[in-house]
Amino acid sequence: MFSLKDKLSRDLEQAAETGIRREADRIAGISDKELFSFAEYDEKEAEKSGYSNYSYWGSTVRMFFKNKGAVAVLLLMLAILLFTFIQPHLPGQFDPNTVNNDPATSMALRNVPPNETFRFGTNNIGQDLWARIWAGTRTSILIGFAVALIEAVVGITMGVLWGYLRKLDFFFTELYNVLDNIPQTIILILVAYILSPSVKTLIFAMSLTGWIGMARFIRNQILIIRDRDYNLASRCLGTPTRRLVMKNLLPYLVSVIMLRMALSIPGAIGNEVFVTYIGLGLPTSTPSLGNLIDAGRAVMMNVSQRYQLIYPTVILSIVTISFYIVGNAFSDAADPKNHR
């Protein structure tokens, strides 16, 4: 401990000494004319001192790329996303809903284990599992993105109104207290039970209450930063409220908004699986990871057919885990407190 302190203080002294010597050298090098003449006011020079090359997005991206693991997961995630959307246009793909027959016997090719033609095998009525899984991933990711987007847009709008218009505060606070008390699963089950299952109704049911959490968060942050000096100054200069919200408030909240969006995607995908399991999911003509997993569950005790459960769950797990990890890493990187 003491030896460490000694070393530190010695370093410091040394540094100070070299600094003083260097400064003396510098002054000695300046001509008398420069030393003893008036410094004119120069606008450009004056601006220089206040200049910083800090850029919010630049720092965010730099911080994110420092996290090598997260970058790897991000690349994996992008590759999967890209592949799900170009897969149907690749050559030699089957239609996810066509029942494949054996050309020789014209019997349906049921439960064919994975081979060269059917990369992930076929299901119990002879549909190509590979095509169904990618079609299902498309559906599930679509639902996830739609839910996240609706939650973000509605949540931010309502949150800004809630924070800015004092008249609405009471109404929103009471609404929040009621909605927050109702278990999410129950709403999901109830709405899915009453409406006939389709992609649209599932998105509706899932985003029905999710926005209020986001709105409350935005509202709390707005209450905190609304009356800070820089916003007061902005308002005195006559900045319209909309510009104030867009330029001064929301950029501050980007990290949390992104985190919540990234986390609500795996949440929505998981909810879809759950709803399908309890019998309120999409019809099998619309493949989704939920109904593929449910179909796989039906045959899971049959060891030779387990691939029908394992493939969809592996794809689903990769998608949800990568969203979770990338979301967390990005929100760490986007938090200005972590920028140096």
Partner 1 sequence: MAKYMIKRIGRSLLTLTLIICIVFILMRQMPIEGYFQNFDKLTDAQIQAGLKEQGLLDPMPVQLVHFFRNMFQGDFGVSHSYRVNVPVTQILKDKLPVSIKLGCLSILVAMCLGIPLGTLMARYKGRFFDKFGTLFIVFIQAVPAAVYFLFIQMYGTSLLNIPLLFNAGNWRSWILPVISMSLGNIAYYGMWLRRYMVDESNKDYVNLARAKGASGNTVMFRHIFRNAFVPMVQYLPSSFLNTVIGSIYVESLYSIPGMGGLLVTVIKDNDNNMVQAIVLLYATVGVIGLLLGDIMMTILDPRISLGKKEGGR
DSSP state letters, 275-332: HHHTT-S--TTS--HHHHHHHHHHTTTSGGGTHHHHHHHHHHHHHHHHHHHHHHHHHH
Region from 13-21, 158-166, 242-250, 294-302 binding partner 1, contact rule CB under 8 A: 294-302
Instruction: Give the residue with the Cβ less far from partner 1, 55 or 177.
Output: 177
Q: Is 186 in the site for partner 1 (CB under 8 A)?
A: yes
Phi, psi of 278 (to 5 degrees): -80, 15
Q: Which of 280, 282, 292, 329 binds partner 1 (CB under 8 A)?
A: 280
Region from 115-123, 201-209, 234-242, 278-286 binding partner 1, contact rule CB under 8 A: 278-286
Q: Is 70 in the site for partner 1 (CB under 8 A)?
A: no
Q: Is 193 in the site for partner 1 (CB under 8 A)?
A: yes
Site string for partner 1, 247-276 (x = CB under 8 A): -------------------x--xxx-xx--
Burial class (CB in 10 A: 0-12, 13-18, 19+), 335: middle
Dihedral angle at the C-alpha atoms of 198, 200, 204, 206, nearest 10 degrees?
60
Q: Is 204 in the site for partner 1 (CB under 8 A)?
A: no
Residue tagged 């690349």 (tokens): 75
Instruction: Give the residue with the Cβ less far from partner 1, 108 or 189.
Output: 189
The answer to whether 223 and 166 are in contact (CB under 8 A) is: no
CB of 60 to partner 1, least distance (A): 22
Instruction: Give the residue with the Cβ less far from partner 1, 35 or 301.
Output: 301
The answer to whether 294 and 281 are in contact (CB under 8 A) is: yes
Q: Is 277 in the site for partner 1 (CB under 8 A)?
A: yes
Residue ranges in 300-329 that form contacts with partner 1 under rule CB under 8 A: 300-301, 306, 309, 313, 316-317, 320-321, 323-325
Cα(42)–Cα(210) distance, rounded to whole angstroms?
Answer: 55
Cα(164)–Cα(219) distance, rounded to whole angstroms?
Answer: 8
∠19-23-24 over CA atoms, to 5°? 115
- Residue of 334, 338, 260 lying closest to 60 (CA atoms): 334
Instruction: Give the residue with the Cβ less far from partner 1, 153 or 300.
Output: 300
Instruction: Give the residue with the Cβ less far from partner 1, 1 or 178.
Output: 178
CB of 183 to partner 1, least distance (A): 4
Amino acid at 74: L
Q: Is 183 in the site for partner 1 (CB under 8 A)?
A: yes
Q: Is 164 in the site for partner 1 (CB under 8 A)?
A: no
- Residue of 57, 254, 145 lying closest to 65 (CA atoms): 57
CB of 153 to partner 1, least distance (A): 24
Q: Which of 78, 82, 125, 278 binds partner 1 (CB under 8 A)?
A: 278
Helix (H, G, I), strand (E, B) or coil at 109: coil
Total chain residues near partner 1 (CB under 8 A): 38
Q: Is 190 in the site for partner 1 (CB under 8 A)?
A: yes
Q: Which of 16, 182, 223, 246 binds partner 1 (CB under 8 A)?
A: 182
Provide the 10 A C-beta neighbour count for residue 127: 24
Q: Is 72 in the site for partner 1 (CB under 8 A)?
A: no
List Cβ neighbours of 119 (8 Å cut-off, separation of 6 or more). 130
Cα(181)–Cα(167) distance, rounded to whole angstroms?
Answer: 23
The answer to whether 326 and 73 are in contact (CB under 8 A) is: yes
CB of 272 to partner 1, least distance (A): 9
Positions in the binding site for partner 1 (CB under 8 A): 173, 176-178, 180-183, 185-186, 189-190, 193-194, 266, 269-271, 273-274, 277-280, 293, 297, 300-301, 306, 309, 313, 316-317, 320-321, 323-325
